[in-house]
Amino acid sequence: MQQFTVRPAGRLRGEITVQGAKNSVLKLMAASLLAEGTTRIENVPRITDVKIMEEVLTAIGAEVRRDETGAVLVTAPAVCTPVAPYELVEKMRASIVVLGPLLARHHFARVSLPGGDDFGSRPIDIHLRALGELGAEFTTEHGYVEGRCDRFVGARIVLEYPSHTATDNILAASVLAKGTTVIENAAREPEVTDLAELLTAMGARITGAGTSRIEVEGVDELHPASHRAVADRVEAATFLAAAAIAGGEVHVRGAHHEHMDMYLEKLEAMGVGLEPTATGVTAHAAGRPVAVDVSTLPYPGVATDYKPLLVTVLAVASGVAIVSENIYAGRFRYVDELRRMGADIRTEGHHAVVRGVERLSGAPVRAPDIRAGAALVLAGLVAEGETLVTGVEHIDRGYEDFDGKLRALGADITRGDDRPPTGA
């Protein structure tokens, strides 16, 4: 098992480049199953979740490899083995997005119920209900969802909640349906638009991606295509938060400010200077942040993935803030780790009251999920003494070379083995 050792080293300065969005790349890889042949995806990060998706697709019968440029090539066979096994799917919830493509192309799928980060119940009923409206029938037993259908038939689907992953699954399923599918209350994230752009390049007919109403005119077949994944807005947000916490000047190359409007507004309200440029976003921070209230909402609101980062900034801010979690009930589980570092945070239900302190103190903490793990590392940048962050495997699921990028900005962070030496 690996750990990060973090010590304060003053203000950060420099530039980092964000990778392709984890929350898009995984869906793009799954969508490659919709067409026989090789689909090429550029700007794919070297992270654990991508490796898991490679293993899922390989188990289904696809061939996955990287070319000399680092792009991922997914070669889908004429006939897949439409079974996604438990030992892979339980590692990552995003694996459920193979369900739509498999049903659309092969009319059968057997997919293990998904696992992934542990921050509250996230049932897949919304996926099954929507795919059922297109014509699928499902049974669930022994930890697997088994779906069957003839060719999907277009329908009007109204989502009870604008689920990002459900929108992706329906979008990928409906492109091969007979007739027209309309998705109402669709998720509006940039990653949904990214998926629609790949599907369109493969021959799909899609309008409205990025709005709450997406219309898909089904086609008989798709063909392989090439596509460059959109930049990861959550990775960009993480390094902007690092500047807000530690101070200094950080340029995040590749960041799209228009994908993070609400998040950037919160940082600016905290006193962080932000400058969108032709190449990304630059953050300037000179003093202690100022407390502001935060509520998570579906896009374009403040994403739940941003919240651990913002709570960590607020933990050292001047004043008191109320943070409300409106997406996942269990996503304050990292707060106890921040308290171990001296943060003054009280939680009740979906809300947290954060009273900023001038300085945190280093302590052993454990990353409970990807974004909370990154936030704990950022807390270590301004904690007196030494902070040891275990559970690094969670961080590696979503960030490529996280510690290396922080070192490039001047942070004092090292990666090592958390096992005691022999004989200890």
Give the residue numbers marked as catalytic. Answer: 117
Please state, as a whole number, how many other Cβ atoms lie within 10 Å of the Cβ of residue 261: 12
Amino acid letter, 213: R
Identify which of 225, 206, 118 has the alpha carbon closest to the alpha carbon of residue 167: 206
Q: DSSP labels for 349-395?
A: TTEEEEE--S-EE--EEE--SHHHHHHHHHHHTTEES-EEEE-HHHH
With a CB cutoff of 8 Å and minimum separation 6, the contacts of 258 are none
With a CB cutoff of 8 Å and minimum separation 6, the contacts of 119 are 328, 330, 331, 333, 368, 369
**Tokens describing residue 348:** 């009740």
With a CB cutoff of 8 Å and minimum separation 6, the contacts of 2 are 390, 392, 393, 396, 415, 416, 417, 418
Cβ–Cβ under 8 Å, residues 330 and 357: no
Q: By CB neighbour count within 10 A (0-12 exposed, 13-18 middle, 19+ buried), where does 231 fall? A: buried
Residues forming a β-bridge with 144: 112, 141
Q: What is the CB-side half-sphere exposure of residue 303 using CA atoms within 13 A?
A: 25
**Tokens describing residue 400:** 């490529």
